[in-house]
Structure 1
Amino acid sequence: MMRRETMTVMVTIVDLYRPRSEPKRLSPPNHPIAQSRIKKMSEAIDALLEDLGAELGSGAHGTVYGLKSAPDRAVKEIPTDGLPPDAQASLELELRTLPRLRHPNVVEYGRVARHEGYIYVEMRRYAGSLDGAIRSLRRRRQLAPREMVVAVLRQVGAGLAYLHRPGKTDATGAPLPALTHCDLRPANVLLDEAGAEFAISDFGLCREGPGGLASMAVPVYAAPEVLRGGSHTPAADMWSLGMVAYELAAGGRPPFLSGRAPAEVYVAGWQPDLGAVGDPVVRGVLAHLLVLEPERRLTAAALVELLDTEGGTPAVATALRFKALEDEVARLWGEVAGLRAALGSGAP
């Protein structure tokens, strides 16, 4: 903790709540108002750093600490020294959005502070992560029950539907952007003490481009188009959710690549081997998420609607069969259209 105690007081507190349309009023650095603001910001960051408690965990995106004054809150310390200036600016821009988001399946964020190579983000404290739950199940040689897998699909799907949705607003009515997670994996799904409520975290920390935090993503959960150098999209998030659910249901990571290059595996006609997933309903959902063509994957909103089907599991199973038939009919019509085009182009 000595590093934090010797930090200088040149601090910037990121202003999160000012609407974009409201101009930021700046005073000259030597103006009394500016000096007063600097003093308050310095005191605020000093108080935050002094309040940091024990380390709760660390990962590719930073280290999480408890707060001495609030046992139900935590602070994530994110290093930014290695990021190019444009990546830092992009990261800060997205972090400004986080405290304005409100959804039961999205981590609740609070204060954000920036100080000499680090960004500190206050957040709700959770009991653990889905990654820890999966490791615990493996140690006991158990598989997650259907209810847990469906709950993860339903709740994480609801959180993604909220993030992906354009045109949403915050509590003040100010517009919020559509967001893509880019790095969904078990470690980024947090859960409560009972293991019944799940929330998405770290969606503001994935950055595209060289030197961005996106380069730290775990490839096993990444969509085929992303592994081939394509952009992260909402459809890529849905593939990642499917991979997370597969690992939870099967007790191990999907062996689709098995050391081979994505370009060798993910070719036209590829179908996922879901034999290790015992539950037919979960297997049916995964068959509509782990689809090679991004446009054919279930959207987050469609997934939630499917799992909310009246009649429970039997009704969901029936809906999945209907969707499979619809997809097959669409595929056959596509082949017919292709044949017609080929015959037409070959006509004299």
Structure 2
Amino acid sequence: MSAPPDHPLGYRLRRLVGSGRTAHVYEAESPLYGTVALKLPRDELERDPVLRRMFENEVQMTLALSHPRIVAALAGYPTGAGAHLALEFCEGSLDAALGEPLPLASAYRLALDVAQGLAHSHERGIVHRDVKPANVFVKAGRAKLGDFGTGFFIGDAFSGEAQRARVGTAFYMAPETFRGASASPKTDLYSLGVLAYELIAGRRPFTGETADELMLAHTSGVPLSLRHHRPEVSPEVSRVVATAMAYDPEKRYESVRAFVLAFAAATGLPPDDPPPALGRSSRRPHLPLQPGGADAPPEEPLPKGRFGWLGRRRS
């Protein structure tokens, strides 16, 4: 197969690594940033204003975020011939790492990583809507939340219709989403709880062969305690994850930041960052769109543990 053509903005495209509803993703070389993951809009966006707006929103949302636990946006532009989103290149998705129980220390750290990235997203006024292992990426043994293609800015005019649409992955969707309720930070929190459960237990809390089976499981089932699968998990950790997954949104934590603090206390792991100062605005920021973002600060990676299976895909 011939190599893809280079991008007019100077990116040298190496290989196609994936495709989504709105964009193709390439491994590419940038004269400024080295190896990057480059998202380029699909041709269909020229004919579909909804998909076009989704790509535009993803570019703006990702550029609005800057946190070591979120895949860093290096540059991007939402519209026109130069539309693109350049991201830091990661080793692979967390989805490839699952399918068997992880060492508890690794599972706890990865869950806390994702929670901190999601907390930052919410504090910047952005709901993700599809928190799942395939949208979490691994670099140097640490997790980074990515792929905001189905997200929305809270309060944005476009978000009213988007917020009501049933979007997400059925294994991780909140009960109220199945019932037609609008997406919110609390639905993201539920998905985070499911992801944390899966990381720790090595299996999902709810299973099913069809969307209807999964809907029934999430809306009427009760998951087994984490300690049923792994007795070495402390009651405190089991309780924190169960609270995030509470059927009633009002019984979940007030925010993902509250989950971060409770989970860190239960596991003994310190968060990477302190909570934001009181009064910090969560309104949509006005940002220059190209270039944007920032490199994440240096990190101390986790010990390798079982991270050799990052190259394997879950069946």
Whether the TM-score (by the shorter chain) exceeds 0.5 is: yes
Q: Contact 2:37–2:87 (CA<8 Å) still a contact in 1? A: yes
Q: Are the structure 2 counterparts of residues 284 and 145 from structure 1 closer, same or farther at C-alpha, using a change threshold of 3 Å? A: farther
What's the RMSD between the two structures over aligned residues? 3.6
Q: Distance in 1 between matches of 2:160 and 2:229?
A: 35
Q: What is the count of residue pairs matched by the alignment? A: 254
Aligned partner of 2:252 among 293, 297, 302: 297
Deviations 1:165-222 (A, max 9, x none): 1xxxxxxxxxxx5000000110111111x31x2111012444679999x766321111
Alignment-derived partner of residue 308 in structure 1: 264
Q: Distance in 2 between matches of 1:3 and 1:149?
A: 38
Q: Secondary structure at the match of 1:54?
A: strand
Q: Note if 1:202 corresponds to 2:168.
A: no
Q: Distance in 2 between matches of 1:308 and 1:297?
A: 17
Greater Rg, structure 1 or structure 2? 1
Pairwise CA distance, 1:110: 2.4
Alignment-derived partner of residue 53 in structure 2: 89
Q: Note if 1:123 corresponds to 2:74.
A: no
Deviations 1:20-57 (A, max 9, x none): xxxxxxxxxxxxxxxxxxxxxxxxx5134x51112233
Structure with more helix by fraction: 1
Q: Are the structure 2 counterparts of residues 220 and 262 from structure 1 closer, same or farther at C-alpha, using a change threshold of 3 Å? A: closer
Q: Note if 1:79 corresponds to 2:37.
A: no
Structure ranking higher on relative contact order (CA contacts 8 Å, 6+ apart):
2
- Residue pairs, 1:27-176, within 5 angstroms: 46-48=8-10, 51-59=12-20, 62-69=23-30, 70-79=33-42, 81=44, 84-86=48-50, 88-89=52-53, 91-113=55-77, 119-134=83-98, 138=99, 142-165=100-123
Q: Distance in 1 between matches of 2:53 and 2:28?
A: 27
Pairwise CA distance, 1:109: 0.6
Q: Secondary structure at the match of 2:9?
A: helix
Q: Secondary structure at the match of 1:229?
A: coil
Deviations 1:259-309 (A, max 9, x none): 5556644557x5322333544334232211111011211221111112333
Q: Note if 1:285 corresponds to 2:237.
A: no
Unmatched runs of 5 consecutive residues or more in structure 1: 7-44, 166-176, 314-348
- Residue pairs, 1:244-323, within 5 angstroms: 244-255=195-206, 259=210, 260-261=212-213, 264-266=216-218, 271-274=222-225, 275-281=228-234, 282-298=237-253, 299-309=255-265, 312=268
Q: Distance in 2 between matches of 1:163 and 1:217?
A: 17
Q: Contact 1:224–1:262 (CA<8 Å) still a contact in 2? A: no
Q: Distance in 2 between matches of 1:75 and 1:103?
A: 19
Give the TM-score normalised by structure 2: 0.67
Unmatched runs of 5 consecutive residues or more in structure 2: 153-158, 270-315
Q: Are the structure 2 counterparts of residues 267 and 81 from structure 1 closer, same or farther at C-alpha, using a change threshold of 3 Å? A: closer
Q: Are the structure 2 counterparts of residues 111 and 234 from structure 1 closer, same or farther at C-alpha, using a change threshold of 3 Å? A: same
The amino acid that maps onto 1:68 is E
Q: Distance in 1 between matches of 2:208 and 2:120?
A: 31
Give the TM-score normalised by structure 1: 0.62
Alignment-derived partner of residue 286 in structure 2: none
Pairwise CA distance, 1:162: 1.0
Alignment-derived partner of residue 221 in structure 1: 172
Q: Contact 2:13–2:28 (CA<8 Å) still a contact in 1? A: yes
Q: Are the structure 2 counterparts of residues 118 and 297 from structure 1 closer, same or farther at C-alpha, using a change threshold of 3 Å? A: farther
